[in-house]
Structure formats: C-alpha cells, structure tokens
Amino acid sequence: MGRKREKTVTAPGGSAKEKALRLLALRQRTVNELREKLLDKGYPAPEVDNTISNLTERGYLNDELFTRGFIQSRIVDRRWGRIKIAFELGKKGVARETIESILNEFEDSLEVRGAKEALEKWAKKNNLKPPLKKDTLQRAMRHLMGRGFPFAVIQSALKDPLKDTMENPANNLADNPADNLDCPGEEE
C-alpha cells in the first residue's frame, strides 16, 4: 500500500510481460498478486499496469476464474470452510463481492460434506469414536471452526455421524456457538 518503488530500470529477466507469463505458467494468480510480484521485482508501475491490462484482455489473468478454482480446491481437497476461504482470498486481493458471489454458487451440501470429512479425519487421527463426550465435542467444534466452517455447518457435521448412538451430545448444542464452549474465568 505505502511501499516506495524507486527502480525504473527494467528488472533483470526481461520485460514485465515475460516475467508475468513465467509466473502464470507456474500457477494461476490474482491481478493483485501478479501486480505486487512484478513491482517487487523492480518493474516500473506503468509497464506493470500495461502488462496486467494486456494479460487480462487476453484471458490469462482473471480473478473470477482464479476464485472459482481456489474455492473448489479448498472445499474439496483441503476441507476448508467458507470463512477461511473468504479470508484467504481477501489476503490475495480478490474483491469481497467476487468472493461472496462465487461462494454462493457452491452448494451448502458440499461444505457440510467437507466438514464431515474433516471431522472424520480429525477423529481418526485422535482415535475417537462416537459417542463424543462434551469436552471432545468442544474440541471437535474448535477444530472445525479453525478450518473456517460456519456454526450451522458444524452443527450438521456433528449431528449426523453421531445420530446412531444412544446419547448424542450434538443434540444438546446451543444455537449460539459461544454457549457450547466452556471458557475458564468467564461468568454470566
């Protein structure tokens, strides 16, 4: 934001366009990521802006396509929730409106399935089997919250795998997520 870039000589490695194409050959990037990378390499701002404009016009650089691919890979492959995905895309410079509109295109069931898979993997790693005790249930909730899942998705993920057990602590979840976590030193 407030960085000074005083280099105006073409940076080593050719033109900004050549460098941008090499970077894009490695992986997709957002407009903001590519702009910052080129400026950090010492390319002058007017050359970077022309390069970005040219690559955008030719379809090599597209924040919407990047966002769709990023969301798909994070939901399916990494089992992230929409909160974490939106945060990470925001750090990459994607506009909030773009993030929200594309996230809304994805079905909620895909996110619930991701939360269930993340929960199953976590439970297996920790050698846990249903029914989960209250403290274990709270740990599971914190784990899913850390992965960026909204509370409603966490509730669904915790209820379904446990519904066949005699005592299902997930049925006792409060509507407010904070009410489910015991925080030492906090009194009502």
Q: What is the pLDDT of residues 98-154, one digit of tens each?
A: 999 999 998 888 889 999 999 999 999 999 887 888 888 899 999 999 999 999 999
For residue 89 the two structure tokens come to: 């895309």
pLDDT for 188: 38
Which DSSP category does 9 fall into? S
Lowest mean pLDDT among 20-34, 48-62, 89-103, 152-166: 152-166
Q: Flag whether pLDDT at 6 surpasses 60.
A: no
Question: 4: how many CB neighbours lie within 10 A of its CB?
Answer: 5
Contacts of 8 (CB under 8 A, 6+ apart): 44
Contact 115, 53 (CB under 8 A): no
Between residues 17 and 182, which one has the greater pLDDT? Answer: 17
Residue 56: band (very low, low, confident or very high) from pLDDT cuts 50, 70, 90: very high
Distance set, CA 29 to CA 3, 32, 61 (Å): 21, 8, 7
Could you tell me the pTM of the whole model?
0.72
Contact 147, 154 (CB under 8 A): no
Where are the domains positioned within the chain? Answer: 16-57, 63-105, 108-180
Query: What does the mean pLDDT of the chain come to?
Result: 83
Listed ranges 37-46, 127-136, 158-167; the one with the highest mean pLDDT: 37-46
CA 148-150-152 angle, to 5 degrees, is 150
Contact 168, 162 (CB under 8 A): yes
Torsion of CA 175, 177, 181, 184, to 10 degrees: -110
Q: Positive or negative CA dihedral for 31, 34, 37, 39?
A: negative
pLDDT for 47: 95
pLDDT tens by residue, 78-89 = 999 999 999 999
Between residues 181 and 165, which one has the greater pLDDT? Answer: 181
pLDDT for 131: 80
Which DSSP category does 182 fall into? -
Residue 54: band (very low, low, confident or very high) from pLDDT cuts 50, 70, 90: very high
Between residues 85 and 174, which one has the greater pLDDT? Answer: 85
